[in-house]
Amino acid sequence: MADATDQYELLDSGDGRKLERFGDVVLARPCAQAVWKPGSPGLWQQAAASFDRNEGLNWQGRGNLSQAWTVRIAGVVMKLSATDFGHLGVFPETRALWDWIRATLRNRRNAGQRGPRFLNLFAYSGGATLAAAQAGAHCCHLDASKGMVEWARENAALNQLQDAPIRWIVDDVIKFLRREVKRENRYDAILLDPPSFGRGKKGELYKIEESLMETLDLVHQVLSDDPCFVLLTSHTPGFSPIVLGNLLRQYHEGGTIESGEMLLTGKPGTMELPNGNWARWINE
pTM flag (> 0.75):
yes
CATH of 92-282, one of 3.20.20.370, 3.40.50.150, 3.30.1340.10, 3.20.20.70: 3.40.50.150
Question: 139, 167 in Cβ contact below 8 A?
Answer: yes
Amino acid identity of 129? T
Domain 8-80 matches domain 92-282 at the CATH topology level: no
35-59 per-residue burial string, b: 16 or more CB within 10 A, e: under 16: eeebeeeebbeebebbbbeeeeeeb
> What pLDDT, on a 0 to 100 scale, did the predictor assign at position 199?
64
Instruction: Please answer whether residues 219 and 230 qualify as being in contact, where contact means their C-beta atoms are separated by less than 8 angstroms.
Output: yes
Q: What is the pLDDT of residues 3-61, one digit of tens each?
A: 667 999 999 999 999 999 999 999 999 999 999 999 999 999 999 999 998 878 899 99
CB 199 within 8 A of CB 144: yes
Q: Which amino acid is at 58?
A: N
Q: Averaged over 84-106, what is the pLDDT?
A: 97
Q: Classify domain 8-80 by CATH number.
A: 2.60.40.1180
Asked if 121 and 100 touch (Cβ cutoff 8 Å), the reply is no
Q: What are 217-276's pLDDT values in tens digits?
A: 999 999 999 999 999 999 999 999 999 999 999 998 889 999 999 999 999 999 999 999
The domain locations on the chain are 8-80, 92-282
